[in-house]
Amino acid sequence: MTKHIKRSQLPFKLCPVCGRQFSWRKKWAKDWDQVKYCSERCRRNK
């Protein structure tokens, strides 16, 4: 059986550019401490 975690239980951060809240993604698992921006667009417009 697979383990399901509710989105509300995942860690989250606030994007310094747009101020939106974004939550942890599996592709960021190794780099979560370095992730600062919610999207490529915000990263480019810093």
Angle at 31 between CA 23 and CA 35, to 5 degrees: 55
* pLDDT tens for each residue of the chain, 46 residues long: 567 778 777 889 999 999 999 998 888 889 999 999 999 999 998 8
Residue 34 placed within a domain:
yes
What pLDDT sits at residue 33?
92
pLDDT of res. 9: 79
> For the chain, what is the domain count?
1
Q: What angle do CA 39, 24, 12 make, to 5 degrees?
A: 90
Q: Whole-model pTM above 0.85?
A: no
- The pLDDT of residue 16 is 94
Residue 6 covered by a domain: no
Q: Which of 10, 17, 5, 16 has its CA nearest to residue 32? A: 10
Owning domain of residue 35:
11-44
